[in-house]
Amino acid sequence: MRFIIQRDSLLQSVQDVMKAVTSRTTIPILTGIKIVANEEGVTLTGSDSDISIESFIPKEEAGDEIVEIKQPGSIVLQARFFSEIVKKLPTDSVEIEVHNNLQTVIRSGKSEFNLNGLDAEEYPHLPQISEEHVFKIPTDLLKGLIRQTVFSVSTSETRPILTGVNWKVENNELICIATDSHRLALRKAKLEADNTGSYNVVIPGKSLTELSKILDDSSESVDIVITENQVLFKAKHLLFFSRLLEGNYPDTGRLIPSESKTDVVVNTKEFLHAIDRASLLAREGRNNVVKFSTIEGGAIEVSSNTPEIGTVVEEIQSQSIDGEELKISFSAKYMMDALKALEGTEIQISFTGAMRPFVIRPLHDDSILQLILPVRTY
């Protein structure tokens, strides 16, 4: 193998596939990046066997030559060293040449690296996915869907299925749900294409987080292919594979109350900042719990009290309070996570009593909701 490549294109691709590479793998060759050069260009692959990322660098783009292939071939190079080297090479043009003994020479200006490569034939194959059913989502919407749900997945392996986000496709609608059993995030989106099929799968939260980091903020579409045990996201010059979690996701539908006894509308930012301050003195306590109560004059009081340190009381003027008076306690962290995930300047919180889960929604937007279970303190 021998080719000459533009450093910046190579670096971008290396950094993309590095997102899948971990040093904590039981399969030694997966600490490397696979590089394949053929007549069309150069393909890089990184994988930790859960996530696999393939990035393609075409020979030409927008009329500029990016890669000049001198001789097709393939190699696996240690990801950590290769990525550090590419980042620091002195010139725009980089030559990569593999000798018969897998020794790989990287040349740039007067800098010459000689790395011990591994045989690309020994690199695991990527999943074979037949692309019969594909649905499309604009990249920026996809990133939003991920951002607004993935924070609610469980970080504990006690119930592995809860470490993933439940994706359901039905009637041309995608519903994403994440819950760690103390809170839940739900986001819906209409799919444009007809006949998108029906799916009900659980994608690991970590995979979605890494996918989100790689995708550009653009309105171009990502193609999504779901099979029995894999999901494939296809963006421009990029393939992102993730395994799916096995098992049935709990039915969360009945968790979400359909009625409410107290409805409060507040300014999102004002409320977020007040919760943030109220939690400053609550962090020492066991779980960062603040008290919330409706008070006279359409206002809300949020407070916390840690005897050794002191107390804090925040008053927030609401836009409206309808229904019963309420005193309730909840995790300030869960509330702040939920508020940060919501869009819109005003939110509505719907309570059905001090011991029941409550729901936070942007005003006039049904596509997203956040649910939080209260804590018993009052």
The residues that touch a second copy, with contacts defined as CB under 8 A, are 78, 81, 84-85, 88-90, 103-104, 110-116, 273-274, 276-277, 280-281, 308-317
- Smallest distance from the beta carbon of 107 to a second copy, in angstroms? 10
- Smallest distance from the beta carbon of 278 to a second copy, in angstroms? 9
Question: For the chain, first and last CA: distance in Å?
Answer: 70
70 or 273: CB nearest a second copy: 273
- Smallest distance from the beta carbon of 80 to a second copy, in angstroms? 10
- Smallest distance from the beta carbon of 351 to a second copy, in angstroms? 22
Contact 112, 95 (CB under 8 A): no
- Smallest distance from the beta carbon of 102 to a second copy, in angstroms? 11
In order, the DSSP letters of 317-328 are: E-SEEEES--EE
212 or 305: CB nearest a second copy: 305
Contact 288, 282 (CB under 8 A): yes
37 or 115: CB nearest a second copy: 115
Q: What angle do CA 107, 112, 113 make, to 5 degrees?
A: 100
Which residues, in sequence order, are bridge partners of residue 322?
263
CB atoms within 10 A of CB 297: 8
Which residues, in sequence order, are bridge partners of residue 293?
301, 327
Which of 276, 268, 274 lies closest to 343, judged by CA?
268
Distance, in Å, from the CA atom of 193 to the CA atom of 224, rounded to the nearest integer, reads: 12
Contact 151, 193 (CB under 8 A): no
- Smallest distance from the beta carbon of 327 to a second copy, in angstroms? 19
- Smallest distance from the beta carbon of 103 to a second copy, in angstroms? 8
227 or 303: CB nearest a second copy: 303
Query: Strand, helix or coil at 204?
Result: strand
How big is the chain by its Cα radius of gyration, in Å? 25
71 or 103: CB nearest a second copy: 103
Distance, in Å, from the CA atom of 310 to the CA atom of 197, rounded to the nearest integer, reads: 56
270 or 337: CB nearest a second copy: 270
153 or 316: CB nearest a second copy: 316
Contact 199, 167 (CB under 8 A): yes
107 or 133: CB nearest a second copy: 107
87 or 213: CB nearest a second copy: 87
- Smallest distance from the beta carbon of 334 to a second copy, in angstroms? 19
Residue written as tokens 């609608």?
173
Q: In what order do the strands lie in the sheet with 238-243?
A: 73-78, 32-38, 41-47, 51-58, 238-243, 230-235, 221-226, 135-138
- Smallest distance from the beta carbon of 235 to a second copy, in angstroms? 31
Which of 250, 249, 254, 299 lies closest to 274, judged by CA?
299
